[in-house]
Amino acid sequence: MCGIVGYAGERTNEDVVDVLLDGLSRLEYRGYDSAGLAVANSSISVVKRRGELSALEEAVPADDLEGFAGIGHTRWSTHGPPTDANAHPHTDCDGTVAVVHNGIIENYQPLRDELEAEGHEFDSETDTEVVPHLIERALDRGDDVETAFRRTIDRLEGSYAVAAVCADRETVYAARQQSPLVLGVGDDGYFLASDVPAFLEYTDEVVYLEDGQFASIRSSGVEITDESGAIVDVPVETVDWDPEDAGKSGYDHYMLKEIHEQPRAIRKCLRGRPRALEGTVSIDELDDVPRPERVHLVACGTSYHAALYGARLFRERGIPATAALASEYAVDAYPVDDGTLVVGVTQSGETADTMRALRDAGGRGARTLAVTNVVGSSAARECDHVLYIRAGPEISVAATKTFTSQQVALAMLSSALADARSREFVEALRALPDRLQSVLDDSRAREIADEYVDADAYFFVGRGYAAPVAREGALKMKEISYRYAEGFPAGEFKHGPLALITDRTPVFAVINREANAEKMLGNVKEVASRGAPVIAVTDAPEAVGHHADHVLRVPDTHWRFTPILANVQLQLVAYWVANRLGRSIDKPRNLAKSVTVE
């Protein structure tokens, strides 16, 4: 949610504005409803607009904005609706300080009341606007800019990533608390952003800010200090992402590109981990993790569906496991001790609810492990252990390749922690990329989407390992087509959902020849007898075909992995339905890629 960019360096005027606008465009996937930027010189120049980034680009004056340092922002509305006034950056009374902010300032109202009582005038409804006014007050009392910024941050409660510029200062000041900020070290300047893709075109050298750290970014370098003001020596890391990975590469949408990247993503996820001769999985970075007495997997949205899949794998390996919605985990007070491993499954490594669950579990004595895609993310840094899924940048809001990579990573994790041995399992893991490619090459999903694009609703069902994939299929359809869809274990059909079945409600049934196939066929007959079209997604078309109206075939594999291949078919169906409906596929309404508020 929301995106921050910043730059300080040798670029001037048009170049600085271009850097900011380009960075904002690369953060559009995070979700936003307004955008703005500010450039610092002898004064502060601010331009901001509600709506798409194109509205901001059109509003930037033709004679450019002068300055060597600037900040930009894409806003996801929390306090106040999307308007020009509520868009970031926000300024102080004199317009000499500009601030952008991600997160929520929980004590903004008493701070605002305090400032208004002193005569400060506010132009927006946002919590963010207290920040420039607090900086202004500290400057008026004689503080230098850095001290004023520090004093202001000390007053804030909640989660935040804040960046500020001040007139007559070619510097960007930044701080974070439970909201991501990463610095980029370039040849002609320094960059700041919520996520690496914002500046990946300019540099792959990064520094990850920690909670409580402050950064001063100027053309001469970056200074990072802790809460006491002491300079912190931080490592510069190289991001293993090609700038081309963050582009569309000729595809109409990022989502379609990322669906087709899944074979490569899985190869990277597997690299160096399965041991074919021994029939084992070895994850070097987790060699010191003992076999847990129990596992709790916490996650949200798509990652929760991967967690459901992973929990079943752990249980079959003899390790008691539960998947829990991260937003409910602390509320439900799951008991933990030092024999509990709490696994946070989070694509971004910044999901607020998941981070809260991990912190709660760690505080109560559990060991924590992050399964994430982002090196240096909060989850990766704060957990006791981390397993990277290596999917590369995922720009589309609707997760595709990261979901598949999470499933594969959890399959390997369960096998490694249980010290399981199975050549058949490991060989099937190693063959997954080729199996995925064959699904992409031969899919009839577009034909199915064309036939059922005008359906009243869509149902997705499966049993066992296929049940989480059915849930995910429904979520993808909802996210990008805006059509009603529901996914659930097939046995639940007769406990209510059958009341919704008509000849305009197609049912997608994931059927695995080696897992509950007969029971699934019984469920298929239940809905077919009531007139619903049935689309079987299966590795057994010859046995299932005459019970279904259509078949989406998946190739033979280990029965635990059949749902992974079926998921790709369901991703394609959702994509082509949304495409036919003309939806904003990569940026669906009301949704954000990285949800950093609870």
Q: Which residues are catalytic?
A: 2, 593
Spatial separation of the C-alpha atoms in residues 331 and 329, rounded to whole Å = 5
User: Closest Cα to residue 36, out of 73, 2, 61?
Assistant: 73
Spatial separation of the C-alpha atoms in residues 37 and 172, rounded to whole Å = 13
- Residue 167, CA distances (Å) to 16, 21, 47, 66, 87 in order: 16, 21, 15, 12, 20
Strand ranges, E, within 178-301: 182-185, 189-193, 205-208, 214-218, 221-225, 237-238, 274-275, 280-281, 294-299
Distance between terminal CA atoms of the chain?
11
Q: How many helices (H) and strands (E) does the chain have?
A: 18, 26
Q: Across-strand partners of 321? A: 295
Contacting residues for 577 by C-beta, under 8 A, at least 6 apart: 449, 452, 453, 477, 481, 483
Instruction: Write out the H or E segment, with its range, that includes residue 378.
Output: helix 378-382
The tokens for 550 are 């259509």
Biggest CA–CA distance in the chain, Å, is: 82
**Pair type for strands 385-388 and 189-193:** unpaired
Q: How far, rounded to the nearest angstrom, does the alpha carbon of residue 140 sit from its chain's CA centroid?
A: 41
Spatial separation of the C-alpha atoms in residues 363 and 336, rounded to whole Å = 10
User: Closest Cα to residue 303, out of 210, 251, 374?
Assistant: 374
Spatial separation of the C-alpha atoms in residues 287 and 289, rounded to whole Å = 6
